[in-house]
Structure 1
Amino acid sequence: MYKRRYAGRRTASQIERDVMDAVAFIVEEKGISAVTMKEVSRLSKTEMIVLERRYKSDEGLIRAYTSQFDFFLNDHIGLDTEAYESSEAFFSELITRFIDAIHKSKDMQSIMVWEMYENSGLTRKSARRREATLTEFLPQFSKLIDAREIAPEALFAVLAGGLYYVLLRGNRSTFCGIDFSTQAGRQILADTLLTITKKFLQG
């Protein structure tokens, strides 16, 4: 783990950055469930009393880390439908951005795995926060889908859920003979999702 050097005592913002770097290191190596204030204290060279005062508990520390990504999807796929000449062009850009954002963010991948496989009060709260932010985007998606043919929310859930799974699995093996860890594999995924979506567009 890279450690920064500072001239003199660290400022509050420098401590925060070192602490979050330590958490990110643990998450990448062992997963979110392995994050503890004791280990973060050791890695970030921060006294336990400082962490306890700022985060209260291991859960508080994890919450501070995961909250950085509460608006992850909105930040990456919050597109304006009016800026595109057609619904197809909008969804093509949306799908490409969605896949690229998830593929590149190892932090977000770790959070997704943690939320899916650990059933706790903390993971439920984290998942609900992400659901709340996602509802801000859904109306833009839904208005372009012919609701007489399919429930727009269900379509998005199925497509996003499948995308999550194949991208997370892509680091481990091929899936149905396709290597989704490669650019070519992700392009096949994007083209397929767009083809499915086009069948349900308005007009």
Structure 2
Amino acid sequence: MSNMKKDSEKKESKPRKVYSGPLRDKARTQDRLINTVGSVLEKRGYAGLTLANVGKASGLDRKNIYNYFGNFETLIKAYIDKKEFWKVESKNKIADILESSGTINKEQITDLLQDQFVTLMEDPGLQKIIHWEMAENSELLRTVADDRERVGEELFNILEKDFVGNEAKMRSSFAMILGGIYYLTIHASSNGSTICGIDVNTEEGSQIVKETLDEMIAFVFDKYSKK
């Protein structure tokens, strides 16, 4: 009886086999193509992001791009959506803010923007996307920027309740802060030089920027908020 029990336990402890199939193979191929877009973008820049280069780097037949994404632009959009900060990294935080009591405090905004700074510093692919948006007039990139703006607008609509009469100055302040984050991170990645003597590639420089972000956001709230 004891031996039968042990045999039964051995059988139950065996790992389940993972079988391949059309759906699993499709997902793997899609992921491989999306990741290849990132690799090509980081190595060759947006000028080198072509159908031929992605197909060659992926090691897959180019027909897979059309079979699974319809066209090359949709594949690129899938990669951008995967990297987009407001849709991925901060999605849960933003959802919590929008579903909360209807107010946003300076700690929440500071947390979001400090997270964005860190994410951009650590993600070359996302840096390339932001730089690409600045350098090229593209319907696809405009759509991405507009999607990002819609998320921001939801936050601003809540913020404005506490900045009555100073809405434009509040928005302008955050536009300059966000623009500074973009420039600092892209500049640091592109040539590694200092900006105003600050090297954001170092732990010390990065920490100073995060602390200054905290102080700048606090200033915007203290200066323009009616609360």
Q: Give me the TM-score of the superposition, normalised by structure 1.
A: 0.80
Partner Cα separation in structure 1 for residue 214 and residue 168 of structure 2: 15
Q: Give me the TM-score of the superposition, normalised by structure 2.
A: 0.72
Query: Is residue 215 of structure 2 the alignment partner of residue 198 of structure 1?
Result: no
What does residue range 118-197 of structure 1 map to in structure 2 within 5 Å? 118-145=136-163, 147-148=165-166, 151-171=169-189, 172=191, 173-197=193-217
What does residue range 41-190 of structure 1 map to in structure 2 within 5 Å? 41-70=55-84, 71-72=87-88, 74-75=90-91, 78=94, 80=97, 87-145=105-163, 147-148=165-166, 151-171=169-189, 172=191, 173-190=193-210
- The answer for unaligned runs of 5 or more in structure 1 is 1-6
Instruction: State the shift of 1:152 in Å.
Output: 2.0
Query: Residue type matched to 1:167 in 2?
Result: T
- The answer for unaligned runs of 5 or more in structure 2 is 1-19
**What is the total number of aligned residue pairs between the two structures?**
196
C-alpha root-mean-square deviation of aligned residues, in Å? 3.0
Partner Cα separation in structure 2 for residue 149 and residue 18 of structure 1: 44
Instruction: State the shift of 1:76 in Å.
Output: 7.2
Partner Cα separation in structure 1 for residue 219 and residue 183 of structure 2: 23
Query: Residue type matched to 2:129 in 1?
Result: I
Query: Residue type matched to 2:45 in 1?
Result: G
Instruction: State the shift of 1:39 in Å.
Output: 2.1
Query: Residue type matched to 2:57 in 1?
Result: L
Instruction: State the shift of 1:199 in Å.
Output: 2.3
Q: Is the 8 A contact 1:76 1:98 kept in 2?
A: no
Q: As a proportion of its length, which structure holds more helix?
A: 2
Indicate the residue corresponding to 1:3 in structure 2. none
CA change 1:165–1:89 in 2 (3 A) is: same
Q: Which moved more, 1:162-171 or 1:47-56?
A: 47-56
Q: Is the 8 A contact 2:90 2:112 kept in 1?
A: no
Aligned partner of residue 199 in structure 1, secondary structure: helix
Instruction: State the shift of 1:103 in Å.
Output: 1.4
Larger radius of gyration, structure 1 or 2? Answer: 2
Instruction: State the shift of 1:91 in Å.
Output: 4.0
Indicate the residue corresponding to 1:34 in structure 2. 48
Aligned partner of residue 164 in structure 1, secondary structure: helix
Identity of aligned residues (%): 25
